[in-house]
Amino acid sequence: RVKRKGVDTSVTTKPQMTSTGIHDIGGLEEEFGPIDLREHGYQLWEMQVHATLVLLSQQGLLTTDELRRSVEALPGHTSMTYYHRWAAGMTAICIERGTFSAADLNLAHGEPEKMIGQQSLVVGQVVRVRREDSRVRWRKPHLRTPGYLFGAVGVVERFLGCFPNPEEKAFSSNQEPGTQPLYLVAFKNKDLWEGMEMHGEDGITAEIYQPWLDIIDEKNEANEDTKVVRDIKVVSSKVDHGDHVHDTRYETEAEALRRETVHDDPIGKKTGEVLLKVLLEKKVLDINKIQEVVEKMDSTGKMLLGQQLVVRAWTDPEFKQRLLDDGNAAAEELGMVASNANAPTKFLVMENTLSTHHLIVCTLCSCYPSSILGMAPSWYKSRSYRARAIREPRKVLLEFGLILPKEMSLVVHDSTADCRYMVLPKRPKGTEGWGEKELMGIVTRDCLLGVAVPRQK
């Protein structure tokens, strides 16, 4: 049963657990052990690869959705480190666009149909996420709807605006992509996971595009198949597509976890260096611009602009309300650009209260408010965190040393599309007379992601 903001509707089925590809790992916590909370510093080549994405995007030579699509389709996806995949994906897109060559590559899956949509859903409306046929998931184009939500029933919490259709943007075209309305939809954990003990009010929000949402018809709801079983296990047989074979999910996820423990990646380093060398030789990029972006990313992580936003919100109630209403505009008041450099993004700030705690994750890749928080920590990008945070969030928080009261609701925000999230933590008691510097000292990056809370030192 879903009950949110006065809406109450019976749910007679459990959504079918499917996957859009090897990157879509939300809810597969059985495949993983504890999250590695150790911090791993970034090597120069990794930061240069990140800078390359920023500059290519700014020049209109690559979109974030193109990179996602390319990375998700890499034959060696699970055997590569994070920035190795970025470097290989960007290389493929550059070749595809003709940045390195005059030859254009045929699109394997064809151009998605151009769609222009207008808002048709309202806040409070009960909706069901459309189901996906998992048998053809390897042939699907780039999707931004995570498989663990296929068939799930939720409630529209917020209209986020209209954005270019990512399923169309993922394939380079001379035509402007159509736009689609994007909504923040809330789901109850107990309605998502079969056979799991869930806190009654714990939930998840995800950004879902309008074509993936169906309005619930209460008259036909009773006719839904009640025998659908949500099962996160994947059959042990391999997936044969004639010209290539995919390993089982268990094998590929286990290999991915093993690879994540190895930080050195000479092949990825070489891939990134060759990509940059070609772009410099073609005069597509300038080495000085690369260095500028690298230095900015490094300093952003040290300045932690999110601290400033939190302290201002704690001391200025009117600013706090503006921050919650429109994060981008509020950040701009302080001279900050909250949208990520490589793609326009909406900055959403979620306020922790006495009754609700918020947690941020991206199950499909690792979407992160880098313009505000700097480079993402390694644990945030790990497959363990991405898989487990939406299924057993309280156990995940326990590994970070955070225990929430049983009466407190926990809402997980899955950053699946064009939004980036930050948590506005609750100001601790006893800090009323503190100055700005003292307050900033207790606001950590982990607090802004929801895996920690500010504590008096």
User: Which residues have a catalytic role annotated?
Assistant: 362, 365-367
Within 10 angstroms of residue 84's Cβ, the number of other Cβ atoms is 26
Within 10 angstroms of residue 383's Cβ, the number of other Cβ atoms is 22
Distant-in-sequence, close-in-space partners of 432: CB < 8 Å, separation ≥ 6: none
Place of tokens 């929801």: 450
Burial 6-33 (b: 16+ CB within 10 A, else e): eeeeebebbbbbbbbbbbbbbbbbebbe
Q: What is the dihedral of CA 327, 331, 336, 339, to 10 degrees?
A: 10
Angle between helix 82-97 and helix 64-72 axes, rounded to 10 deg: 110
Q: 126-129 and 213-215: which strand pairing?
A: antiparallel
Evaluate whether 230 touches 211 at the Cβ level (below 8 Å). Answer: no
CA gap 186, 414 in Å, rounded: 10
CA gap 427, 421 in Å, rounded: 19
Evaluate whether 248 touches 237 at the Cβ level (below 8 Å). Answer: yes
Within 10 angstroms of residue 456's Cβ, the number of other Cβ atoms is 11
Residue 157 per-residue DSSP state: E
